[in-house]
Amino acid sequence: MALQWSFKEKCGEVTMRNSEGQEWALSLYEGNALLIMLHEYEQDSGSYYNLAGFFADKTHMKRCLGLEKGYEENIYNTDASRITKLRLNKAKSHYVRDIVTSFAKAFDNITIEIYKED
């Protein structure tokens, strides 16, 4: 099944940093997955996006973050790039508690911000 989401239902952002110190933001959405991460950008007078990642469900999230036995590698915390900040809108994210708990366990140095905005 293809991923589906509504651009009207953005529920937060993550900030990524590469090994050279460059930072960029990924927009977070819910849809038919626990969390969908998109790189949104403007170019040539148009708006575009690339799918940067997703968590299909809680188990998939834990596996991607290296929290599940047999899946000890956090694919979002590598030498090439890592998540350094998580911002979640608790009015739009249905899984705030699960996401925050998992991110706090998966990253040694991360800023987590929870806000409420309708």
**Residue 87 — pLDDT band, cuts 50, 70, 90?**
very high
Tell which residue, 61, 67, 1, has the closest CA to residue 28: 61
* Model pLDDT for residues 35-76, shown as the tens digit of each residue: 999 999 999 999 999 999 999 999 999 999 999 999 999 999
CA–CA dist 77, 98 (Å, integer): 18
The pLDDT of 67-93, averaged and rounded, is: 97
Beta bridge partners of 12: 28, 88
